Structure 1
Amino acid sequence: MTRGSRNVAVVGVALSDCGRVPDATPYTLHAQAARRALADAGLPRRLIDGFASAGLGTLAPVEVADYLGLRPTWVDSTSVGGATWEVMAAHAADAIAAGHANAVLLAYGSTARSDVKAGRRTGTLSFGGRGPTQFEVPYGHTLIAKYAMAARRHMIEYGTTAEQLAQVAVQARANAALNPEAMFRDPLTVDDVLSGPVIADPFTKLHCCLRSDGGAAVLLTAEEYVRDCRTPPVWILGTGEAVSHAAMSEWEDFTVSPAAASGRLAFERAGVGPPEMDFAQLYDAFTYMTLVTLEDLGFCGKGEGGAYVTDARLTVTDGALPVNTDGGGLSAQHPGMRGLFLLVEAVRQLRGEAGTRQVRARDGGLPRLGVASGTGGWFCSSGTVVLGRN
């Protein structure tokens, strides 16, 4: 898609060491992922004139850019939770298309797991008692409780079952079994998920994402630099972003996420639709997120998500729409704001670099189109990116 005067491609992607990395710092994971992404692209560091990062440092992304030895003339520190990286990718693509930057690096790193193990953080997220959330804090709403309430509302409205939600975790694990870098690869059954300890009704432990260390980086550049890259370009075809509520009491419908708006915009701008997608990479901190995002992006009708996710529809091996092909946040890795990992996996799939978990298009060849959609907060924000290859 032409955004301004230049087309924009992703030319480098990488992960840092992920999973259990007790000797790392968030800064070293940023740097490791960034170096690997540059090596993947085959472009020199001096070309980077844009940088985007969030979640680390008092002056993010200034501190991280300084650590990486970058002096960018375009920066972004948008922070909207898990949707941050899809939103940043959209902003970076707009900046490159308009000529405000030539190459933008997106980088993230977190030692969330090691911090909890070492007692550097409690593992419980607190969102404070000021602003709109002050009216809910006295009732003890945790992050997971907010998602659990939304899931229960969907169950009441549409008859969605705990077994259907469990299918999301089971199929994510089936994909993770094909990913040698995934933290958890042992097979799961629906009974395994349902018999686990209840964390927040209707979620048991395996309805919830794991906690890991890890980092990721993505390099976007203008079309004229593509010929200098060692990897085939993956084009940014369309993007969309949307925000919803801060307080749960202001959310009009617990069964509709802001992906309904961001997805519509992304697909319209790309000039393609959900039926043309070869795969989807969706934020999955909890199983319900996958189900409702599939509905809101238009892969099935509202209320039909429970039926849609059955029969191994989401798996690489048998699925009509492979989803979270690396195992997702439920089984592969989840160091915090996982949205950048969605973009890395989408690009690897489109370049045919996913190994045993490689998706095939309907004609048996490599996939041509895919979508990545991140969700932030408690369905407070959404960013959607449609990607494609030549």
Structure 2
Amino acid sequence: MTAASIVAAYEEPYARRTSRTAEQLLAAAVRGALGAAGLGHGDVDGLGVSSFSLAPDHAIDLAWRLGLRLDWIMQDPHGGASGINLLQHAVRAIEAGDARVVVLVAGDHLDRAAFARLTATYNRATAEALTPLPLRGPNALFALLTQRHAAAHGLADADYAQVPLSQRRWAARNPGAVYRAPLSLDEYLAAPVVAAPLRRFDCVPVVAGADALVLTAGGPGVRVRAVASRHNPDGQEGDGIVTGLAQVADRLWAGAGVGPGEIDLACVYDDYPVMALAQLADLGCAPDLHAFLHGRLARDGWPLNPSGGQLSAGQAGAAGGMHGLVEAVLQLLGRAGERQVDRARLALVTGYGMVLYRYGACANAAVLEGVA
């Protein structure tokens, strides 16, 4: 178990529309997290940032505008994997004595035009090979992945529906989720098709917001039992329905000293239901996907993304990579309000993303434990 403690987590409320800039959202999240930790800006000597829309500013510009004097700073551009990347580096920095109090923050404000520009120019491969088709963002790519995954595992639309349906039930207890109204299977199946077989409720709603964590050297809070990452595991030449987590699962669980059956809740990166299921399968949490979906998830109400996940709470750009961490920490600190998971002690958090050409190339996971 690491010597660093996560002592506070905060989410600046998500909104479908706002006049605030990315800088203002990030600053608000930093203030909220420090307030939850009982600390001030003057206590901070480390900062990690992830944001697509902070540009042309960088982490150091945000530090300057916040009045932070730092010994350690980092900026991570890797989207859905950025939160756990930042966490891994921050823990190592504290253990090495490079920093004592680190704030990690991620967030974005991407209006319709900004989101369209981001998805059209995400990287050179996208701009040169995909946008001219046009694919109009990642939905078409993940529709193809869902088709392939369904054929490989014998799953139908009503099976994949169990992920957004389960998470919507949790979202009803989260005042910060943008979608909280009950969702039935009939409503799910009747929703407009975005890219077959993906329907509206299979795709994350784009929102504005930010998430932040505060880490300190020791003390009560949440500890990282293990973290593991695997990036570009197959050079974009695999089938895309197995993530890099499959290559590090054994190392993750051995480092954590627990197995997947001992986890009390999971916060899995859920840009699409298919990828949430792929990550759970890769980590040994759902060896039989059909049984998992209709048994453990639908019948037993296992806490998968008890915030509602991105599918119901929303995806605030790069904050999507921090959202699951914030939810897991709140749960393990016993501060999740009405959606609090009873006797939550161990949480699994995953990150996934950064489409290089056909599918995400970055994957990581952490096992967290609440420590009194």
Report SS of the residue matched to 2:87.
helix
Larger displacement relative to structure 2 (37-46 or 233-242): 37-46
The aligned residue for residue 244 of structure 1 is 232
Give the whole-Å Cα distance in 2 for the aligned partners of 1:91 and 1:52. Answer: 9
> Is the Cα–Cα contact under 8 Å of residues 109 and 207 in structure 2 kept in the other structure?
yes
AA at the equivalent of 1:379: G
**1:27-106 to 2 correspondences below 5 Å:** 27-55=23-51, 56-106=54-104
**1:276-295 to 2 correspondences below 5 Å:** 276-295=262-281
Q: Work out whether 1:324 is the aligned partner of 2:305.
A: yes
Query: Deviation at 1:207?
Result: 0.9
Q: Work out whether 1:374 is the aligned partner of 2:334.
A: no
Report SS of the residue matched to 1:184.
coil
The aligned residue for residue 126 of structure 1 is 120
> Is the Cα–Cα contact under 8 Å of residues 50 and 107 in structure 2 kept in the other structure?
no
Q: Work out whether 1:164 is the aligned partner of 2:153.
A: no
Q: Work out whether 1:388 is the aligned partner of 2:372.
A: no
Q: Work out whether 1:179 is the aligned partner of 2:143.
A: no
Give the whole-Å Cα distance in 1 for the aligned partners of 2:67 and 2:293. Answer: 45
Give the whole-Å Cα distance in 2 for the aligned partners of 1:355 and 1:44. Answer: 25
Query: Deviation at 1:132?
Result: 8.5
> What is the percentage of aligned positions where both structures have the same residue?
34
The aligned residue for residue 314 of structure 1 is 297
Give the whole-Å Cα distance in 1 for the aligned partners of 2:297 and 2:304. Answer: 5
- TM, length-normalised to structure 1: 0.87
Query: Deviation at 1:351?
Result: 1.3
Q: Work out whether 1:305 is the aligned partner of 2:289.
A: yes
Give the whole-Å Cα distance in 1 for the aligned partners of 2:86 and 2:366. Answer: 10
AA at the equivalent of 1:351: L
Give the whole-Å Cα distance in 2 for the aligned partners of 1:289 and 1:314. Answer: 16
Query: Deviation at 1:253?
Result: 2.7
Query: Deviation at 1:263?
Result: 4.2
Report SS of the residue matched to 1:284.
coil
AA at the equivalent of 2:347: G
Q: Could you give the per-residue CA deviations for residues 39-92 of structure 1, whole angstroms, max 9, x where no partner exists?
A: 111123222111111222235211221222112221111221211111110111
Query: Deviation at 1:15?
Result: 1.1
Give the whole-Å Cα distance in 1 for the aligned partners of 2:108 and 2:202. Answer: 22
AA at the equivalent of 1:236: V
Q: Work out whether 1:340 is the aligned partner of 2:322.
A: yes
Q: Could you give the per-residue CA deviations for residues 105-139 of structure 1, whole angstroms, max 9, x where no partner exists?
A: 11122222xx22xx555477113673597455554
Q: Work out whether 1:192 is the aligned partner of 2:180.
A: no
> Is the Cα–Cα contact under 8 Å of residues 50 and 106 in structure 2 kept in the other structure?
yes
Report SS of the residue matched to 1:71.
coil
Give the whole-Å Cα distance in 1 for the aligned partners of 2:131 and 2:315. Answer: 26
AA at the equivalent of 1:144: N
AA at the equivalent of 1:346: A
CA 1:306 to 1:140, structure 2 compared with 1: closer, same or farther past 3 Å?
Answer: farther
CA 1:179 to 1:61, structure 2 compared with 1: closer, same or farther past 3 Å?
Answer: same
> Is the Cα–Cα contact under 8 Å of residues 277 and 371 in structure 1 kept in the other structure?
yes
The structure with the largest strand share of the pair is 2
CA 1:202 to 1:368, structure 2 compared with 1: closer, same or farther past 3 Å?
Answer: same
CA 1:264 to 1:133, structure 2 compared with 1: closer, same or farther past 3 Å?
Answer: farther
Q: Work out whether 1:266 is the aligned partner of 2:262.
A: no
Larger displacement relative to structure 2 (43-52 or 194-203): 43-52
**Structure 2 gap ranges (5+):** none
Q: Could you give the per-residue CA deviations for residues 183-212 of structure 1, whole angstroms, max 9, x where no partner exists?
A: 111111122112211111210111111111
Larger displacement relative to structure 2 (265-274 or 161-170): 265-274
CA 1:197 to 1:322, structure 2 compared with 1: closer, same or farther past 3 Å?
Answer: same
> Is the Cα–Cα contact under 8 Å of residues 129 and 137 in structure 1 kept in the other structure?
no
Partner residue of 2:206 out of 195, 208, 211:
211
AA at the equivalent of 2:144: M
Query: Deviation at 1:182?
Result: 1.3
Give the whole-Å Cα distance in 2 for the aligned partners of 1:240 and 1:295. Answer: 16
> Is the Cα–Cα contact under 8 Å of residues 14 and 218 in structure 1 kept in the other structure?
yes
Give the whole-Å Cα distance in 1 for the aligned partners of 2:176 and 2:271. Answer: 18
- Structure 1's consecutive aligned runs of 4 or more residues displaced over 6 angstroms after TM superposition are none
Q: Could you give the per-residue CA deviations for residues 137-177 of structure 1, whole angstroms, max 9, x where no partner exists?
A: 55444412221211111111121111111111111111101
CA 1:200 to 1:350, structure 2 compared with 1: closer, same or farther past 3 Å?
Answer: same
Report SS of the residue matched to 2:79.
coil
Give the whole-Å Cα distance in 2 for the aligned partners of 1:59 and 1:318. Answer: 46
**Structure 1 gap ranges (5+):** 227-231, 361-365
> Is the Cα–Cα contact under 8 Å of residues 259 and 375 in structure 1 kept in the other structure?
no
CA RMSD of aligned residues (A): 2.2
Partner residue of 2:11 out of 5, 8, 15:
15
Q: Could you give the per-residue CA deviations for residues 342-368 of structure 1, whole angstroms, max 9, x where no partner exists?
A: 1111011111111221112xxxxx211
Larger displacement relative to structure 2 (129-138 or 200-209): 129-138
